[in-house]
Amino acid sequence: MSRTAQSVWNNCLKFIQDNIQPQAYKTWFEPIIAVKLTENALSIQVPSKFFYEWLEEHYVKILKVALTKELGETAKLVYIIKMENTYGNKQPFTEKIPSSNRTAVKSQEVDIPLNNKSPELRNPFVIPGIRNVKVESQLNPNYSFDNFLEGDSNRLARSAGLAVANKPGGTSFNPLLIFGGVGLGKTHLAHAIGVDIKDKYPEKTVLYISAEKFTQQYIEAIKKNNRNDFIHFYQIIDVLIIDDVQFLSGKSGTQDVFFHIFNHLHQNGKQVVLTSDKAPVDMQDIEQRLLSRFKWGLSAELQTPDFETRVSILKNKLYRDGVEMPEEIIDYVAKNIKSNVRELEGAIISLIAQSSFNKKEITIDLARVIVEKFVKNTKREVSIDYIQKVVSDYFQMDIDTLQSKTRKRHIVQARQLAMFFAKKFTKASLASIGSQIGKRDHATVLHACKTVDNLSSTDKQFRKYVEDITKKLSV
């Protein structure tokens, strides 16, 4: 029986999968490709140097056990790192690194240091004329790792952020680029890294700045003819955090100066943390040489949080604000606001505000009204239950009456309106609408829709009903 790299690795994977968390398995083992098997050495290809370091740091024991079971005591593991060529050549190249040798080679362009003969520092954060070399970090202490809740959507970025905070400049996540859509926590995480570093290494110079402000400062510096001072100031930073680098798109002067600063910091083992609303591959009008720098380290994505994470973010927020809220309402908000954390927080804040201003209890109905304001712009589907509720409220009857078999005219009309709106606002079939509104068949629903159409073009009062209910349903 001949053994292939694949079959040996598959056996290792089975063992590993049984012994670690499913999410960790998915993140760290599924992307690995078994490449080659010699007598006692298995070569595996990993996507990046970061990946290799992470495996070595966290999973080396289990890898060893698994491999020894397969290949005996003399088993060896060889990592092949798929690296990006940093010179803009799309062809990836591979580099072999034995597991004992941790010094991976990184290609790097040599940069001419920007020597500034006069050591005087002009700090762009300080009013000109006042000499001040102490750099204020511009960090927001409210953004910490503690209140940045972990979930599948942010695990990689959060762990990498923590690793950077523990050892700024000392990991291969340099730069660390955090990317993701609006309101998903990029700014929060960027601050948290800085705050944590300041905490652990008070002597380090940390600076948080938005790319926009960085650009403004640079333009100022050019105007005042002190470009070199500007560069020099940034070169003394130990941890430079630049938020929203996509802002540099199309600004070639600022990109150029940032390129020099970046190279200087990187060569001197200083940490750079960047955030962006796009992945490097999708960034437009950013120079290639800068993009290739971004890819030197780790790009970690913040994705939209799943339901459980949304619930824990909400609970944490309520807990910190000292507010109690029924579980059912938290669930409702988390279920309906999915796209971003800022909106999630916004909804819960208005809910608290509404209830305390109006001395109203926080109810599901209030939650519904508020949540709908937040998700109004995103296309939503109202439920048939909700339509029945709105219609029966409008006619001041209860839902049971609406659904009953009675032939009283005003009840029949209410029922027909509910059917009509269910057809209009949901994707449900006629049969399904019928079965949900008083167990009628599809022909009845069809008839109801036609009747409502007819009546609203002939009967003024009836048209008013249709208009009023339409408004209520589209709040």
Binding positions for Mg ion, rule: CB under 5 A: 186-187
User: Which span (116-124, 126-134, 182-190, 327-335) binds ligand ADP, by CB under 6 A?
Assistant: 182-190
Pick one of ligand ADP, Mg ion, none as the site partner of residue 84 (Cβ within 5 to 8 A by kind).
none
Binding mask 131-160 for ligand ADP (x = CB under 6 A): ----------------xxx----x------
Minimal distance, residue 201 CB to ligand ADP, in Å: 23
- Of the residues 164, 273, 313, 334, which one makes contact with ligand ADP according to CB under 6 A: 313
For the record, the structure tokens of 440 come out as 């009628």
Cα 221 → chain centroid: 34
Minimal distance, residue 228 CB to ligand ADP, in Å: 32
Distance between CA atoms of 468 and 391, rounded to whole angstroms? 10
134's CB contacts (< 8 A; 6+ apart) are none
Of the pair 257, 302, the CB lying nearest ligand ADP is at 302
Of the pair 353, 431, the CB lying nearest ligand ADP is at 353
Q: Determine if 185 is a binding residue for ligand ADP (CB under 6 A).
A: yes
Of the pair 63, 195, the CB lying nearest Mg ion is at 195
Minimal distance, residue 142 CB to ligand ADP, in Å: 8
CB count, 10 Å around CB of 366? Answer: 17
Minimal distance, residue 177 CB to ligand ADP, in Å: 13
Pick one of Mg ion, ligand ADP, none as the site partner of residue 182 (Cβ within 5 to 8 A by kind).
ligand ADP
Q: Determine if 345 is a binding residue for ligand ADP (CB under 6 A).
A: yes
**Cis amide bond preceding 175, omega within 30:** yes
The C-alpha R_g of the chain, in whole angstroms, comes to: 30
User: Which span (19-27, 60-68, 71-79, 177-185) binds ligand ADP, by CB under 6 A?
Assistant: 177-185
What are the E-state strand segments in 346-474? none
User: Which span (105-113, 176-184, 357-365, 460-468) binds ligand ADP, by CB under 6 A?
Assistant: 176-184
Residue closest to 140 by CA, chosen among 243, 212, 256 = 243
Can you state the percent helix, strand and coil of the chain, rounding each to 5? 50, 10, 35
Nearest 5°: CA angle at 316, between 311 and 318?
Answer: 95
Of the pair 193, 449, the CB lying nearest Mg ion is at 193
What are the E-state strand segments in 228-375? 239-243, 271-276, 298-301
Distance between CA atoms of 371 and 369, rounded to whole angstroms? 6
Token pair 């063992």 is found at 15
Minimal distance, residue 179 CB to Mg ion, in Å: 11
Q: Determine if 442 is a binding residue for ligand ADP (CB under 6 A).
A: no
Distance between CA atoms of 275 and 132, rounded to whole angstroms? 28
Of the pair 264, 310, the CB lying nearest ligand ADP is at 310
Of the pair 341, 371, the CB lying nearest ligand ADP is at 341
Q: Determine if 194 is a binding residue for ligand ADP (CB under 6 A).
A: no
Phi-psi region of 180 (alpha: psi -120 to 50; beta: other; left: phi over 0): left
Q: Determine if 183 is a binding residue for ligand ADP (CB under 6 A).
A: yes
Distance between CA atoms of 364 and 326, rounded to whole angstroms? 9
Q: Determine if 310 is a binding residue for ligand ADP (CB under 6 A).
A: no
Token pair 């949080």 is found at 305
Q: Where in 372-401 is the site for ligand ADP (CB under 6 A)? A: none
User: Which span (18-26, 212-220, 337-345, 418-426) binds ligand ADP, by CB under 6 A?
Assistant: 337-345
Minimal distance, residue 23 CB to ligand ADP, in Å: 16
Minimal distance, residue 144 CB to ligand ADP, in Å: 10
User: Which span (34-42, 132-140, 160-168, 183-191) binds ligand ADP, by CB under 6 A?
Assistant: 183-191
Report which secondary-structure segment, H or E, holds 94: strand 93-98
Distance between CA atoms of 158 and 1, rounded to whole angstroms? 45
Q: How far is CA 306 from CA 135, 156, 336, 341, 377, in A?
A: 39, 15, 12, 11, 21
- HSE, CB side, 13 Å, CA atoms: give it for residue 124: 27
Of the pair 192, 418, the CB lying nearest Mg ion is at 192
Question: Which residues contact ligand ADP (rule: CB under 6 A)?
Answer: 147-149, 154, 180, 182-188, 313, 341-342, 345
